[in-house]
């Protein structure tokens, strides 16, 4: 399988980086082709200019490559921290610029954008690994888990990806090395469960 892995965390050596590395290691061990992007390391520009909003527009070579990879992916894995109930701005910019009309979704003939779009992504599954410093019970009671609705309903379902799974690891700031190691083992098990060795 061809699998896109997108990391959005600014600090090298962060637990998010460790999660992404565990994901990539498991996928490579299982003989999958991986498109891996550390958005901060690549200095991804998250700003969507007005001229880039339209389906028929000239894209930079870098954005064209991101679009080509995400279009050709059989699955997508996203890794990011929970900041204010949202992904970091750089990852939101990746969504804006890469999951674009004609790539991730399109509108039917006669629909000028006022209706429900048709999803175009060929990926059947998306995994999202998040970290947080908020306990799970407070996240649900006070905030209602906004990341779940964002990734599943507002992004991936709209783009045609129907199997969306998310795992949250918390509380990071108070976690021990042993706890983090257990979480990384869980990441590996999760990847192996959804993307076992490619027998093709």
Average pLDDT for 105-110: 79
Domains of the chain: 2-194 (3.40.50.360)
pLDDT at 97 over 70: yes
Average pLDDT for 159-186: 94
- Report the SS3 class of residue 118: strand
Q: How does residue 90 score in pLDDT terms, banded at 50, 70 and 90?
A: very high
Whole-angstrom Cα distance, residue 129 to residue 187? 8
Report the pLDDT value the prediction gives residue 113, as an integer from 0 to 100: 61
pLDDT in tens, 131-160: 987 656 666 665 667 788 899 989 999 999
Strand pairing class (75-81; 125-132): parallel
Residue 101, C-beta contacts closer than 8 angstroms, at least 6 positions apart: 54, 55, 107, 117
Least confident of 4-13, 137-146, 177-186: 137-146
What are 79's two structure tokens?
Answer: 């890794």
Strand order in the sheet with 163-170: 33-38, 2-7, 75-81, 125-132, 163-170
Average pLDDT for 28-51: 95
Kindly compute the dihedral angle of the four CA atoms of residues 180, 31, 198, 186, in this order, to the nearest 10 degrees: 0
């Amino acid at each position: 399988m061809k699998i896109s892995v997108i990391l959005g965390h600014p600090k090298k050596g962060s637990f998010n980086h460790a999660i992404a590395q565990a994901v990539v290691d498991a996928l490579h061990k299982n003989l999958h082709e991986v498109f891996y992007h550390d958005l901060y390391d690549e200095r991804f520009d998250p700003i969507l200019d007005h001229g880039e909003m339209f389906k028929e527009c000239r894209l930079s070579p870098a954005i064209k490559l991101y679009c080509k990879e995400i279009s050709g992916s059989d699955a997508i894995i996203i890794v990011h921290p929970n900041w204010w109930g949202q992904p970091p701005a750089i990852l939101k910019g990746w969504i804006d610029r890469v999951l674009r009309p004609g790539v991730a979704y399109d509108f039917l003939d006669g629909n000028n954008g006022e209706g429900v779009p048709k999803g175009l992504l060929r990926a059947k599954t998306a995994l999202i690994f998040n970290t947080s410093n908020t306990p799970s019970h407070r996240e649900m009671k006070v905030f209602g888990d906004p990341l779940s609705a964002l990734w599943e309903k507002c992004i991936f379902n709209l783009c045609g990806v129907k199997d969306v799974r998310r795992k949250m690891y918390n509380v990071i700031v108070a976690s021990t090395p042993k706890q983090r190691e257990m979480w990384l083992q869980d990441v590996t098990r999760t990847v192996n469960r959804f993307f076992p060795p490619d027998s093709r």
